[in-house]
Amino acid sequence: MPKVRTFSTDQVKGKKVFLRVDFNVPMKDGKVSDDTRIRAHLKTIQALRDAGAVVCMASHLGRPKGKRNMEFSLGPVRDELAKLTGWSIKMAEDCVGESVVEALGSLKDGEMLLLENLRFHPEEEKNDPDFARRLAEPFDVFVMDAFSAAHRAHASTRGVADHLETYAGYLMEKEIEVLSKVRDNPDAPFVLILGGAKVSDKIGVIDNMLDKVQTILIGGGMAFTFLKARGVEIGRSLCEEDKLDFAKEMMNKAAEKGISMVLPVDVVVAQEVKDGVSSAVVSSDAIPSDQMGLDIGPESVKSFAGIIEGAKTILWNGPMGVFEISAFASGTKGVAEAIARTVQNGSTSVVGGGDSAAAVAAFGMEDKVGHVSTGGGASLEFFEGRVLPGVEILLD
């Protein structure tokens, strides 16, 4: 099990710390519309402050395509962070060069610095060695807390580690601790719940996790490719024709290994993916040819919930239906509620995937379903069994 290197007070006291966070928050009308990602880093920032470090935060925001574009300025994030905490936070004009050195030099006791968007420079995403050296130059220590950016080898997530002592922040530590437990050392029975739009996004996860789980529950859009692979008519439901063979192969492999792969027994169908459209529950083998399946049905929720409640370990990736529309949200909500009951009885659960996390947040259940990972793409790559470049630098 990987364990990341964290910092002690002595290692950061009086040091200038380059703290990589992920403040890539959703914005609306020039303001932060959801501060979840900011709050996720507060423990690390607080700890560095308490330890007497000079804290300087760096992040990307949106896709400014390597050009300075104030539409993607981190200024509004600075305002939100200051409002949230009451801290005094200065903003540097850029993330490298004179303006950073000057801003650092002018910080008073207790003040912190936020650098301007890393992606104003095309060298950031290229992990350009000279850019990484320039990023690191004004600092003594690198603290990597951006788990959700750790699957990218960029200058600020990987390159700077070549120049500075490097430690993990608390968010990173927590993510790696919980995700590793589930991936590398799960207590049985281990139930993997997969959903979301596409089989192709989850192939790597299925491949890597198949040997470790006792049961796989499949819902969401991807269930229909599996149903079709079993010979069921799926109407106009989502289907990846080129993944039918993969689905068949996986079902055969699971059967050989004694793993049960459970598909929905009923589904919610409609003509259109639209608010207010009329919908019906049908058996999975009776989907009308002109309709599409947009959620798992109530019988499926019951059967999934029964299995989930018997689990000691749960990994959930991908909503059970088009949860963004209330008529197709019950399956996802039912699964979230079953997970919450199981977690309450002491089981370990990880929710990975950006949309799954958004669904859980929309139901107001973030605190009930176990560990909701902040890393969408990063958590997927983690469960594919990869070593993330921004995590590798934190291993001894």
Q: How far apart are CA 371 and CA 357, in angstroms?
A: 10
Q: Near Mg ion by CB under 5 A, which window of 30-38, 320-328, 353-361, 378-386? A: 353-361
In single-letter form, the type of residue at position 380 comes to: L
Q: Near Mg ion by CB under 5 A, which window of 69-77, 104-112, 117-125, 349-357? A: 349-357
Q: Which is nearer to ligand ADP, 23 or 226 (CB)?
A: 226
Q: Near Mg ion by CB under 5 A, which window of 90-98, 236-244, 343-351, 352-360? A: 352-360
Told to check if 75 binds Mg ion by CB under 5 A, we report: no
Q: Which is nearer to ligand ADP, 80 or 355 (CB)?
A: 355
Q: Which is nearer to ligand ADP, 64 or 293 (CB)?
A: 293
386 is in an annotated binding site: no
In single-letter form, the type of residue at position 231 comes to: G
Give the shortest CB-137-to-ligand ADP separation in angstroms.
Answer: 37
User: Of all helices (H) and strands (E), which one includes residue 307?
Assistant: helix 298-309
Rounded to 5°, angle at Cα 363 from 25 and 196: 75
356 is in an annotated binding site: yes
Q: The tokens of 323 are what?
A: 């949860």
Q: How far apart are CA 348 and CA 183, in angstroms?
A: 11
Told to check if 354 binds Mg ion by CB under 5 A, we report: yes
Catalytic residue among 5, 16, 43, 198: 198
Told to check if 381 binds Mg ion by CB under 5 A, we report: no
Helix 376-383, helix 170-184: angle, nearest 10:
40
Is 110 a residue of the active site?
A: no
What are 274-283's contacts with CB under 8 Å, separation 24+? 274/325, 275/325, 275/326, 275/327, 276/327, 277/327, 279/327, 279/328
Which residues make beta-bridge pairs with 89? 112
249 is in an annotated binding site: no
202 is in an annotated binding site: yes
Catalytic residue among 15, 20, 37, 333: 37
Q: Which is nearer to ligand ADP, 77 or 270 (CB)?
A: 270
293 is in an annotated binding site: yes
Give the shortest CB-376-to-Mg ion separation in angstroms.
Answer: 6
Q: How far apart are CA 68 and CA 337, in angstroms?
A: 44
User: Which of 323, 395, 308 has the alpha carbon at shortest distance from 353?
Assistant: 323
Q: Which does 321 bind (CB under 5 to 8 A by kind): ligand ADP, Mg ion, none?
A: ligand ADP
Is 276 a residue of the active site?
A: no
Give the shortest CB-163-to-Mg ion separation in angstroms.
Answer: 34
User: Which of 254, 257, 191 has the alpha carbon at shortest distance from 226?
Assistant: 254
Tell the burial category of 163 from Cβ atoms under 10 Å away from its Cβ (0-12, 13-18, 19+): middle
Q: Near Mg ion by CB under 5 A, which window of 75-83, 131-139, 303-311, 348-356? A: 348-356
The binding site for substrate consists of 22-24, 37, 60-63, 119, 152
User: Which residues are the active-site residues?
Assistant: 37, 198, 354, 377
